[in-house]
Amino acid sequence: MKELIHCLYCQTENKIDENSHRQKKSQTCSQCGMPLPKHHPNSRRYRTKVFIGAFICICLFCAIMVIYLPR
């Protein structure tokens, strides 16, 4: 299965074979030759991970404030 990875430098889409990506081979951009990111900041997985972390922190803050403030 092929995966599209965006280059951070020139913003072109590069088709990468998923098997070669798992083997941690150094992938480079087809247009500018710079190394491609392993985890792109605009990827769905990264955004979900950041959202879940922020959501948990906000929930903990709210729970502490609910317990602390009424006293």
Predicted confidence (pLDDT) per residue in 40-55, tens digit:
777 777 888 899 999 9
Provide the pLDDT for residue 53: 95
CATH number of 1-38: 2.30.30
Q: How far is CA 27 from the centre of its chain?
A: 17
Provide the pLDDT for residue 25: 60
Burial tier of 5 (Cβ tally within 10 Å: 0-12, 13-18, 19+):
buried
Provide the pLDDT for residue 67: 92
The ranges assigned to domains in the chain are 1-38, 41-71
Evaluate whether 35 touches 26 at the Cβ level (below 8 Å): yes
Provide the pLDDT for residue 41: 73
Provide the pLDDT for residue 61: 97
Provide the pLDDT for residue 1: 56
| Spans of the chain, pLDDT less than 50 | 21
